[in-house]
Amino acid sequence: MSEKSIKTTKKYYDYVSVGNRTAQMAYFVQQHDKNRMFEELLKTLQNMQIIVLVKSKRNADEIMRYLNTKEIKSISVHGNHRVAQIEDAQKSFNSKETKILITTDRILEKLTPMEVHVVVNYDLPLEASDYFKALLLVDEIGQSISLIDPEDEGMLATIELMMKCEMAEVEMKHFEHTARETTTPKERINKPRHKKVEQRAKKKAEIKSKWVPSK
Contact yes or no for 22/138 (Cβ under 8 A)? yes
Residue 105 has pLDDT above 50, yes or no: yes
Residue 108 has pLDDT above 50, yes or no: yes
Flag the least confident range among 38-52, 114-128, 152-166, 191-205: 191-205
Q: In what order do the strands lie in the sheet with 168-170?
A: 75-77, 100-104, 50-54, 118-121, 143-148, 23-28, 168-170
Tell me, what's the pLDDT at 215? Answer: 55
Of residues 209 and 2, more confidence is placed in 209
Each residue of 115-167: pLDDT tens digit? 999 999 999 999 999 999 999 999 999 999 999 999 999 999 999 999 999 99
Tell me, what's the pLDDT at 210? Answer: 66
Burial label, 188 (beta-carbon count in 10 A; 0-12, 13-18, 19+):
exposed
* Average pLDDT score, the chain: 87
Query: Rounded distance, CA 124 to CA 121, Å?
Result: 6
Of residues 1 and 126, more confidence is placed in 126
Entry pTM: 0.82
Query: Rounded distance, CA 75 to CA 92, Å?
Result: 9
Tell me, what's the pLDDT at 214? Answer: 56
Of residues 210 and 136, more confidence is placed in 136
Nearest to 175 by CA among 23, 24, 44: 44
**Sequence-ordered alpha helix ranges (H) in the chain:** 15-21, 34-42, 57-69, 83-94, 105-108, 128-135, 153-163, 198-208
Residue 51 has pLDDT above 90, yes or no: yes
Each residue of 85-95: pLDDT tens digit? 999 999 999 99
Domains of the chain, first to last: 19-208 (3.40.50.300)
